[in-house]
Amino acid sequence: MSIALVLLAAGKGTRMNSEMPKVLHKIAGAPMLAHAMRTGAVLAPERTVVVAGHGAEAVALVAADLDETSDVVLQEDQLGTAHAVDQARGALADFNGDVVVLYADTPFVRDETLQRMIDARQTHHLVILGFEAADPKRYGRLMMDGESLERIVEYKDATEAERAITFCNSGLVACDRAMLFDLIAAVGNDNASAEYYLTDIVEIARARGLSVTAVACDEAETLGVNSRADLAQAEAIFQQTARAQLLDLGVTLAAPETVFLSYDTVIGRDAEIEQNVVFGPGVTVESGARIRAFSHLEGCHVSGGAVVGPYARLRPGAELAENVHVGNFVEIKNAILGEGSKANHLTYIGDASVGKNTNIGAGTITCNYDGVFKHRTEIGDNVFIGSDTMLVAPVSVGDGAMTATGAVITRDVDPGALAIARAKQDNKPGRAKKLMDMLKARKARVRN
């Protein structure tokens, strides 16, 4: 069966109190829109249509970055959910198959839930996703008769008896494309809000003798994000779920509640993550690696047996081979460290390549930026870089070479060579006391 996704992303999100479109606010380092699109991707959709409104240009850029084949259509006037879905009519005019309507601000619907909706479509014309609400609040209520869904009543239009029902509408819909838009064409706006409700298609379908049902999911899957408080709650839910999944996969988390993961973090079995570690987007940590406390990783790859931290920072493009050690207050950016190499203290390695079994001394800096361009540093195998070495890129240090402590390396170092690049030390007998006396006298004059 061919599937098309329609993601509703037009809401301004007034309660977010933000200039940014609501669906671009991030959970675990990714816009809510990305979470919804990734969920829908489990259905292998042939088409994806994002209905944008407020901040449509920004939404379109993010959607294209996530899926370059997606279409973005504009809902200029916010006239209700049926009106929003109807904006995708033209984009899907030549599509034959089922349409699944998702909400970009409802990021936690599970893959299995969407698949159950598609399965239910085999025996029903129209499928709605519902949930049993602990506190139904202002959700639309699903009026069931056995397996048949008779109608959906919006809270504003519900009687007291109808409001007592706890089986509620999530807003998600699955239906044949032609049938869906035919039903939407019959929706009116004779209701308390004068809006075109997507929920009205249920009653219209029933009146036409079509089979309608509701699939139930856990309430947690239907969390909608409408405020900063909701966003914080969604972040907490994501983190709790992601941590539990890692523990089940055999990852050691010394203090799970202090580890923060991104939407795409990948950590292998038997890896060890200490407390207060933050993973930004794009991180892979292989089996058997150890990430020590208070480290921050983003856009990097850590191989098995490597040790990172404590207090280390891996930035985008950092690539650590097997058994690499990166220690406290070391920053790696756009650099490759070969197998068994070490940078254990107070070091910056940027735009560089480091070979195997090389030792980078404390205080080393690859001086990669000249104010306009970035330049690379190439360091070979079995190199010893002395403490406080400044490597002024572009520069290379050959296999088996050494640099003296405090060296400023501005020229290539041949393999096996010892590079000494520092001014000659000159000791001045008795000058320390004279200088200190002079400075103290100057300070006394300033005070007086």
Among 427, 5, 36, which Cα is nearest to 224's? 36
- Dihedral of the alpha carbons of 40, 42, 47, 51, in degrees to the nearest 10: 10
Q: How far is CA 182 from CA 74, 98, 173, 186, 199, in A?
A: 20, 13, 14, 7, 14
Of 25, 125, 325, 345, the catalytic one is: 345
Close Cβ partners of 51 (under 8 Å, ≥ 6 residues apart): 6, 7, 8, 9, 10, 72, 73, 74, 75, 84, 85, 87, 88
Q: Are 110 and 130 in contact (CB under 8 A)?
A: no
| 325 is a catalytic site residue | no
Q: Can you tell me the distance from the alpha carbon of 125 to that of 381, in angstroms, rounded to the nearest whole number? A: 66
Of how many residues is the chain composed? 448
Distances (CA, A) of 129 to 11, 142, 166: 21, 10, 14
Q: Looking up tokens 């699955």, which residue turns up?
A: 174
Cα distances from 319 to residues 11, 325, 401, in angstroms, run: 40, 12, 23
Catalytic residues: 345
